[in-house]
Chains A and B, each alone.
Chain A
């Protein structure tokens, strides 16, 4: 389990992208969430980001003992079958609204579960997830994983920021790590 950090230490030295335990946690949580709640399998896959340009994406931010944000991308071909599986309906019955809500819900579940496992002793609050275009964050400081599922591709980026007022930091609208 990644150790707890105080803010000065975070600013000085910690790099989420260089923490192998954090990467393993992201990999394990993504596989567990997709298997138990979305009834599909996910395995880490090499990055190939052309598909992300038209992917369904959601962004969620967190604050508290750690500040940061997570970005989730789901490829066009994966979004409908995964949403249909989650809701127990046929893909033809999906609407844009339902698809969007599913992407937001998946981002919320992934982010909440990852944070609970990365820093279980922390007190963190999440913002409501928002649909967003994919953003290529700087590799330095960003933990990024791509996954392959039978339905298509997923990508997750998560990064820490130094606190309020800095780029990417949460300033308002956060809610307790729940839902």
Chain B
């Protein structure tokens, strides 16, 4: 099964890198959408539902924390799992993002295999919750 993915990051090179890592990992990606901030992400999601969201935290216009709040406040979008990708590996930051509703957290650096494992874990939890 190919999954629809939304990558949210203000850095174009980081978005390209995440696409590359998804390919290298063997994770089956169908359509891969991109957004440069949380606001763009919400616009994309209103027109194109996805299976999983990969989001940065620090972005202009709307950051990752606000994006998580908006997703959780939306009855439909809150069912889409979100994985945070960040350089911040401190416990404080990880706990905060999980409390805001993120289902997964990847701290940089990470390998393609680690990203795939995290995506499979959060999508497995989503599928189990639906069953």
Residues of A whose CB lies within 8 Å of any CB of B are: 32-33, 35-37, 86-88, 98, 101-102, 105, 108-109, 111-113, 116-117, 120-123, 126, 175-179
Question: Does B87 contact A177, Cβ atoms closer than 8 Å?
Answer: yes
Question: Does B17 contact A179, Cβ atoms closer than 8 Å?
Answer: no
Do A121 and B109 contact each other (CB < 8 Å), given the known contacts A87-B16, A105-B11? Answer: no
Task: Say whether B48 faces chain A, with CB atoms less than 8 Å apart.
Answer: no
Task: Say whether B30 faces chain A, with CB atoms less than 8 Å apart.
Answer: no
Do A122 and B90 contact each other (CB < 8 Å), given the known contacts A101-B11, A113-B109? Answer: yes
Question: Does A123 contact B64, Cβ atoms closer than 8 Å?
Answer: no
The 4 closest A-B pairs by CB, nearest first: A112-B87, A178-B57, A88-B20, A116-B89
Task: Say whether B111 faces chain A, with CB atoms less than 8 Å apart.
Answer: yes
Chain B: how many interface residues by the 8 Å CB criterion?
A: 27
A33 contact set on B, CB distance < 8 A: 108-109
A98 contact set on B, CB distance < 8 A: 13
Question: Does B109 contact A116, Cβ atoms closer than 8 Å?
Answer: no
A87 contact set on B, CB distance < 8 A: 13, 16-17, 20
Contact string against A for B residues 84-117, beta-carbon threshold 8 Å, 1 for contact and 0 otherwise = 0011111111000000000000011111000000
B23 contact set on A, CB distance < 8 A: 88
Which of B12, B56, B86, B87 is most buried by chain A, counting CB atoms within 10 A of its CB?
B87
Do A120 and B56 contact each other (CB < 8 Å), given the known contacts A36-B110, A105-B11? Answer: no
**A32 closest partner in B (C-beta):** B109
- Looking at the assembled complex, report how far the CB atom of B87 sits from the nearest CB atom of chain A, in whole angstroms: 3
Task: Say whether B25 faces chain A, with CB atoms less than 8 Å apart.
Answer: no
Question: Does A37 contact B17, Cβ atoms closer than 8 Å?
Answer: yes
**A33 closest partner in B (C-beta):** B109
Question: Does B13 contact A112, Cβ atoms closer than 8 Å?
Answer: no
A102 contact set on B, CB distance < 8 A: 13
User: Please, how many angstroms separate the alpha-carbon atoms of A87 and B17 in the complex?
Assistant: 5
Question: Does A178 contact B86, Cβ atoms closer than 8 Å?
Answer: yes
- Looking at the assembled complex, report how far the CB atom of A130 sits from the nearest CB atom of chain B, in whole angstroms: 14
Q: List 20 A-B contacts (CB under 8 A).
A: A33-B108, A33-B109, A35-B109, A36-B111, A87-B13, A109-B108, A112-B89, A113-B109, A116-B90, A120-B89, A120-B91, A122-B90, A123-B92, A175-B58, A177-B93, A178-B57, A178-B86, A178-B87, A179-B9, A179-B58
- Looking at the assembled complex, report how far the CB atom of B63 sits from the nearest CB atom of chain A, in whole angstroms: 8
**A125 closest partner in B (C-beta):** B58
Q: Which of B16, B17, B88, B110 contacts A178 (CB 8 A)?
A: B88
- Looking at the assembled complex, report how far the CB atom of A93 sits from the nearest CB atom of chain B, in whole angstroms: 11
User: Please, how many angstroms separate the alpha-carbon atoms of A84 and B9 in the complex?
Assistant: 19
Question: Does A36 contact B86, Cβ atoms closer than 8 Å?
Answer: no
Contact string against A for B residues 45-66, beta-carbon threshold 8 Å, 1 for contact and 0 otherwise = 0000000000011100000100
B90 contact set on A, CB distance < 8 A: 116, 120-123, 177
